[in-house]
Amino acid sequence: MEEMNSQHPGLTGLRNLGNTCYMNAILQCLCSVPPLVEYFLSGKHKAVLHKENGESATAFGSLISDMWLGEFDCVSPEVFHSALGKRYPTFSKRTQQDAQEFLICVLNELHEGLKKSSKRRCVTDGKASRGSVSETSIITQLFEGQLSYNIMCLECKTTIDRPERFTVLSLPIPSKSACSLQDCLKCFFQQDILTWNNQIQCSWCGTKQDATVKATITKAPQIIIFHLKRFEWQGKRKRKLSTDICYPLSNLDLSSYSSPLFCKDAEYSLCAVVNHSGFLDDGHYTAFCKHSVTKNWYNFDDAQITKIPNASVQSDTAYLLFYICQGLLCTH
């Protein structure tokens, strides 16, 4: 492994502002998503920017420019950190935070600053039609997918489908020692029985009933992010699962969890990984990112960047996995 001196755009370290490795790891991963980088570098975000809540999006655009067009080996994300901290005070503190929670807040904040509203007509109950307002942004276009939960009452067999949008899928880890990403996906998408306190209120029966529930992907996002649930509660204490999870670098096939009616391209390639090493309170976050120009993998550890072989991308500290639709890679 060799340490990098920034010879290529996009190979820029980020200064740690004091326990902000969680932020640096997420920013490096987002700055390794080609269509997101292109959107901000082209200046398209400036045309839709909201004045009242666009400060974080503006700072994010400037940071991407510094990382991709600048001539520095390392830059400070302080302006972005400050802007996001105004909206989410938790992240303004110089204390260790959860990278997954930070990622969701960043995606939400960028969406709020860049969203466009458009009216559309939709049909409800097959009879009346009404107008609804749809809010879209580069974030929803790239990262938003949709699940459909098929729920069947075990008493009367009535079924309903409940749609739910997502930007990050949190996957359970079914083993304490070793498993694969496919094992985690099978566990997430398997049919469950809702009983006891989780019973549904069946509209046909008019009472609470046991039911089965099964999720299906009805809209596959262009970028799908998996959160591996390494932190779990055991009584009143939280503990970390150090399970070695095997995940593919390319050809991740999601077709068996997707609706064939809606999801045509369901194969993905890995483009970034957030790693968490150590324990809950004193752990450290780093990122593995695939450079869109050189196609090489790099380890981003705050200000330090190291080129790594493909074999090293498989890590037992993986916490978040960023996959990009392979059809999207062909156009970039």
Is 21 among the residues known to form the active site? yes
Cα separation, 317 vs 230, whole angstroms: 9
Q: What percent of the chain has pLDDT over 90?
A: 76
Cα separation, 293 vs 145, whole angstroms: 27
pLDDT band at 191 (very low <50, low <70, confident <90, very high): very high
pLDDT digits (tens, 9 = 90+) for 30-61: 999 999 999 999 999 999 998 888 999 999 99
Q: Angle at the Cα of 234 (from 231 to 238), degrees rounded to 5?
A: 40
What's this model's pTM, rounded to 2 decimal places?
A: 0.91
Q: Which of 105, 114, 103, 102 is CA-nearest to residue 139?
A: 114
pLDDT digits (tens, 9 = 90+) for 165-177: 999 999 999 999 9
Among residues 263, 271, 284, 325, the one annotated as catalytic is: 284
The pLDDT score that the predictor gives to residue 262 is 64
User: Would you call 54 helix, strand, or coil by DSSP?
Assistant: coil
Is 289 among the residues known to form the active site? no
Cα separation, 230 vs 98, whole angstroms: 11
Task: Give the CA-trace dihedral at 249, 250, 256, 259, to 10 degrees.
Answer: 120
pLDDT digits (tens, 9 = 90+) for 258-293: 987 765 667 899 999 999 999 877 799 999 999 999
Pinpoint the alpha helices (H) of 135-244: 138-143, 181-189
Pairing of strands 178-180, 244-246: parallel
| φ and ψ at residue 148, rounded to 5 degrees | -125, 125
Dihedral sign, Cα of residue 326, residue 327, residue 330, residue 332? negative
The pLDDT score that the predictor gives to residue 6 is 47
> Is pLDDT of 128 > 70?
no
Within 10 A of 48 (CB to CB), how many other CB atoms are there? 15
pLDDT band at 235 (very low <50, low <70, confident <90, very high): confident
